Amino acid sequence: MLKKLIIVIFFCFNIIYAENIDKSEFVNDFFSVKLSEISQLKSENKDITKKVEEILRNNFDPEYFSKRVLGKYWRFASEVEKKEITELIYLKIKFTYLNIFNEYKKQKVDIKKTLLYLEDKQIYRTDIKIISNNNIDVLFFTELKDNNIIIKDLILEGISLQKSFNSAYKTILQKEGSKGLIKLLKEEIEKNV
């Protein structure tokens, strides 16, 4: 009986392990393909804005990100404010990603093995190193939802995008609430346009 139980446990573990390897490779392949597409556009001197927008619209959850950035202030915002903040934060993220990818010019990119980071939430961590004069380390934390990859956070040179947004907007949220944040985000976005 014990022997059968051990065999069953071993078999189940191997199925779970194999499934996670497949998903990890799926996430890894996603980054390989997207970086190749961006690299191709850049080599043809084409604008990468639409490609970055496509990736963000399909593979980024701006509402989740906005909730994390606002923390406890999210529940005090009206539905209209939440929607506007989510769209403004999406635009801010878009400019951040565009800056990162505009720095990327056919340098060697080393996509290290994607690993399952948080099992119960199916969060994957992908280490990417852009090898150039100044090596850039980028970590992506992603979640698999219905065979779609959702980017949860980006850590650039050891700094979490989520946490940097959170600390950057903490004071304005404390002093002026969501209305103050909306005004500040609009001003910052106008500088990038």
Query: Would you list the domain boundaries of the chain?
Result: 2-192
Each as own residue / partner, the long-range contacts of residues 75-78 (CB below 8 Å, 24 or more positions apart, any chain) are 76/177, 76/178, 77/177, 77/178, 78/178
Q: Which of 132, 128, 155 is nearest to 35 (CA)?
A: 128
> In Å, how far are 102, 104, 193 from 51, measured between CA atoms?
12, 14, 17
Task: Give the list of residues 6+ apart from residue 15 with CB closer than 8 angstroms, or none.
Answer: none
The two counts, helices (H) then strands (E), for the chain are: 5, 6
Residue 71's DSSP bridge partners are: none
> Which band of pLDDT confidence, cut at 50, 70 and 90, is reported for residue 2?
very low
pLDDT in tens, 18-57: 344 467 777 878 888 888 888 888 878 888 889 889 988 8
Name the average pLDDT for the chain: 78
DSSP conformation letters of 128-179: EEEESSS-EEEEEEEEEETTEEEEEEEEETTEEHHHHHHHHHHHHHHHHHHH
Lowest-pLDDT choice from 5-14, 47-56, 107-116, 174-183: 5-14
Q: How confident is the model at residue 193 (pLDDT cuts 50, 70, 90)?
A: low
pTM of the model: 0.75
pLDDT of residue 25: 79
- Burial of 180 per CB tally in 10 Å (0-12, 13-18, 19+): middle
Most confident listed range (6-10, 88-92, 154-158): 88-92
* pLDDT of the residue at 146: 77
pLDDT(159) > 80: yes
Please tell me the predicted confidence (pLDDT) of residue 14: 33
Q: What is the pLDDT of residue 32?
A: 82
Topology classification of domain 2-192: Nuclear Transport Factor 2; Chain: A, (3.10.450)
